């Protein structure tokens, strides 16, 4: 089932890019994917939900790859932060999602706009928290404003470059440039206690990000469900990983470095687009959240 669902997602994504979201109908997706109407509505309640699933899939992938990049690295390394920021930009380009985001922005569809806005707020919250990792707790009152400035800097530099330069833009160089500028900005803000938006804004952005709920319970349920699918197919290597993770969830003292290695290997095992890709990505995303929560206990 997951392989077919992934096929439908990728087909819909291609049509949204080629024809535009508003000009693509559910019937277009059904015909192009060679599925029945019942199959489509078994996966998605609407075209909007299909689009949100496409964006969610990319979001999960970028979240996982960002966290994997930290394995064995110092959290206060600014270059690692820059590479993490780049991951989402690379995925958006690899999956050709920029035209889709643009279509959502101009669609006037409130449901989709709120969905994309929630991801934007989550991105700001993530950059803000990573800036605290880099610059320490004294920077906390200023990191949200710095996160906003970093994203604004990147966006405006891209617009300017595309408008006035004939050369192709090196986004790696651009993002590293923007992250380096934070040094001058944040230390000056700390020195002069200079904020514009204040702590209320940071609190509002943080509260706007949806709480994931009970991560351990969700992870356990997803792993059990996944195990049943793998057992039917006698996928021995996958079963070995799942059984280890289920066992580790019950241990009082988690070995973080081992869990991190297993999390990456588990994701890589199912990384090629196939029958288990969607399910494995969802589990890997929950697994990294769980590992990070355990680390701060």
pLDDT at 212: 65
Q: What's the average model confidence in pLDDT over 219-246?
A: 93
Single residue among 189, 208, 227 that ends a domain in this structure: 208
User: Are residue 196 and residue 75 in the same domain, yes or no?
Assistant: yes
Give the contacts of 291 (CB within 8 A, at least 6 positions apart): 254, 256, 259, 260, 263
User: Are residue 111 and residue 65 in the same domain, yes or no?
Assistant: yes
User: Are residue 144 and residue 193 in the same domain, yes or no?
Assistant: yes
| CATH code at position 17 | 1.10.10
pTM of the model: 0.89
Single residue among 208, 228, 262 that ends a domain in this structure: 208
pLDDT at 105: 79
Query: How far apart (Å, rounded) are the C-alpha atoms in residues 61 and 289?
Result: 13
Task: Kindly report the average pLDDT of the chain as a whole number.
Answer: 90
Q: What's the average model confidence in pLDDT over 49-55?
A: 94
H helix and E strand count, the chain: 14, 0
pLDDT confidence tier of residue 1, bands split at 50, 70 and 90: very low
Single residue among 157, 187, 208 that ends a domain in this structure: 208
Structure confidence by residue, pLDDT tens digits, 211-221: 667 889 999 99
| CATH code at position 155 | 1.10.357
User: Are residue 37 and residue 57 in the same domain, yes or no?
Assistant: no
Q: Does residue 123 have a pLDDT over 60?
A: yes
pLDDT at 211: 65
Highest mean pLDDT among 63-77, 106-120, 194-208: 63-77
User: Are residue 75 and residue 8 in the same domain, yes or no?
Assistant: no
User: Are residue 179 and residue 38 in the same domain, yes or no?
Assistant: no
How many CB atoms lie under 10 A from the CB of residue 72? Answer: 8
Rounded-to-10 torsion of CA 243, 246, 251, 256: 90
Q: What's the average model confidence in pLDDT over 275-296?
A: 88
pLDDT at 98: 86
Q: Does residue 200 have a pLDDT over 80?
A: no
Nearest Cα to 147, choosing from 122, 111, 173? 122
Q: Could you tell me the residue range of the domain that residue 186 belongs to?
A: 47-208
Number of compact structural domains in the chain:
3
Give the contacts of 101 (CB within 8 A, at least 6 positions apart): 92, 116
CB 128 within 8 A of CB 146: yes
User: Are residue 219 and residue 204 in the same domain, yes or no?
Assistant: no
């Amino acid at each position: 089932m997951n392989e077919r669902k992934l096929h439908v997602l990728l087909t819909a994504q291609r049509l949204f890019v080629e024809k535009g979201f508003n000009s693509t109908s559910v019937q277009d997706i059904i015909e192009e994917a060679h599925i029945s109407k019942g199959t489509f509505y078994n996966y998605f309640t609407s075209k909007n939900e299909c689009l949100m699933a496409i964006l969610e899939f990319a979001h999960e992938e970028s979240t996982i790859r960002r966290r994997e990049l930290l394995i064995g690295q110092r959290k206060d390394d600014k270059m690692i932060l820059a590479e993490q920021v780049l991951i989402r930009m690379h995925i958006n380009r690899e999956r050709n999602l920029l035209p889709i985001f643009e279509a959502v922005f101009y669609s006037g569809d409130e449901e989709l706009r709120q969905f994309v806005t929630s991801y934007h707020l989550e991105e700001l919250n993530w950059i803000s928290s990573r800036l605290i990792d880099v610059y320490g707790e004294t920077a906390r009152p200023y990191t949200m404003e710095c996160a906003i400035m970093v994203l604004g800097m990147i966006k405006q530099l891209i617009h300017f470059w595309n408008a006035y330069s004939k050369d192709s833009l090196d986004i790696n160089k651009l993002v590293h440039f923007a992250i380096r500028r934070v040094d001058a900005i944040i230390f000056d803000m700390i020195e002069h206690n200079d904020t514009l938006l204040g702590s209320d804004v940071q609190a509002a952005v943080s509260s706007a990000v949806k709480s994931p709920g009970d991560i351990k319970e969700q992870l356990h349920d997803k792993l059990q469900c996944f195990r049943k699918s793998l057992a039917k197919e006698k996928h021995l290597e996958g079963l070995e990983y799942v059984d280890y993770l289920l066992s580790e969830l019950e241990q009082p003292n988690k070995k973080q470095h081992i869990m991190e290695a297993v999390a990456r290997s588990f994701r890589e095992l199912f990384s090629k687009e196939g029958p288990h890709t969607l399910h494995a990505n969802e589990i890997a995303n929950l697994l990294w959240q769980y590992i990070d929560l355990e680390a701060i206990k």
